[in-house]
Amino acid sequence: MRQVIVVSPTVLVPPDAWSWRATRSSGPGGQNVNKVASRVELRVDLGRIEGLADDARGRLTTLARRRLDALGRLLITSQTTRDQGRNLDDAIDKVRRLVAAALVAPRPRRPTRAGRAAVERRIAVKKLSGARKKQRRAVRGDD
């Protein structure tokens, strides 16, 4: 039943890199909630994802840092529906989206400078503030 999770044509999560188990879901469901294990926990070994470049692997680790278990595997849960199969599909889709997000390199920040008008406005506000403070000073008499 386990299949390859295809993220892109070059990035794959092989079947032996992930495992899942079903647990009882929380929330509404009547008497059924105590009997049926519809919540899905999907664990993915990040080191076994094929075709992932080193920089993308680093971004994936950063994106998934709060979802890692004690062994360093990614833990994804899904309990959106009452159907175990649909929850498994949802969890697989979450993994696919997370790995795809790690594939996108962030745009480098280009440092910018403030425009001349912005600098002049800032200096004008500073001069106004200084003049206001100067008016608050005590007047010295020539006694």
Name the residue type at position 83.
D
Please state, as a whole number, how many other Cβ atoms lie within 10 Å of the Cβ of residue 94: 16
In-domain check, residue 133: no
Q: What's the pLDDT tens digit per position in 99-124?
A: 999 999 999 999 999 999 999 999 99
Instruction: Say which residue, 143 or 56, is predicted with more confidence.
Output: 56
Q: What's the pLDDT tens digit per position in 35-49?
A: 778 889 999 999 999
Question: What is the pTM for the complete model shown?
Answer: 0.72
In-domain check, residue 128: no
CA dihedral 89, 94, 60, 104 (to 10 degrees): 110
Q: Which tokens hold the place of 117?
A: 């008008």
User: Residue 107 and residue 132: Cα distance in Å, rounded?
Assistant: 44
Q: What's the pLDDT tens digit per position in 128-141?
A: 999 999 999 887 76
Look-up of token digits 């400078």: 113
Expressed as residue numbers, the domain containing 47 is 5-103
In-domain check, residue 117: no
* Residue 62, pLDDT above cutoff 80: yes
Please report, for the domain that includes residue 65, its CATH number. 3.30.160.20
Q: Name the domain count of the chain.
A: 1
